[in-house]
Structure 1
Amino acid sequence: MSEPFSIPVRVYIEDTDAGGIVYYVNYLKYMERARTELVRSLGYDKPAMPREGLLLVVHSAQIQYRRSARLDDTLRATAAIGKLGRAGITFEQKIWRDGEIICQGVVKVACVAENNRKPCALPASIYSALKAACKE
């Protein structure tokens, strides 16, 4: 992908603390939405793959906060596939406001078996679709 996948995000009162500043964990929610919509754009409706008995779960997240978003801000959440492994995906993500990065992160997602939560390979069709969208 030349440009990262992106979605618009509006900051609602439920996203903020008493001072009208976005509560830190909500940036992770915005990133989750962008990852989910990226996978949906590749033809997969949900991050869980119940027919295959598989789930995509967050393994780790490294987040850097640069600026605060506020009530009623219009943001843009991006997701790009930075690295693709047989059993996992590393997403490079950013939250933008008016052309400025206000939060960025690297989120690692693992493919696990639904019944025992142990790592397993991504199905070939999903792997191929993700590989085509990978920035490598």
Structure 2
Amino acid sequence: MPLNHVMHVEDDPDIRAIAELALVTVGGLDITQCATGAECLTAIEQRTPDLILLDVMMPGLDGPETLRRIRTLPGMSEVPAVFMTARAQPGEISEYEALGAIGVIPKPFDPLTLADQVRQLWDQAQSSAG
């Protein structure tokens, strides 16, 4: 199954704009963007994404807590999640993977390769699940 719809959660409007350009214009993906974890929890009930791309450090609900809450929603326990963060030390990456993330994309990211990075993680998750 190809990756089509990505839920992107990021509190920084500049990063949201660059990610939208990277994922939609360069990558040809359909995205829903949310500025907060709480906004994501509402939006995700309207439309289930193929993959969730989450910032780690956000005010209010941070990325890990947002993912914990997403996992409690009906049908959301298996939706692949990727963290996008400047906090990508090996110990931190292990924590994100323990939460069920399929990968971590370090910030700053390359807008020209972001969609490819996301697709690569998606493909790896699909092949290991199948």
Higher strand share: 1
Question: TM-score, with normalisation over the residues of structure 1?
Answer: 0.24
| Higher relative contact order structure (alpha carbons within 8 Å, sequence separation ≥ 6) | 1
Question: TM-score, with normalisation over the residues of structure 2?
Answer: 0.24
Rg larger for: 1
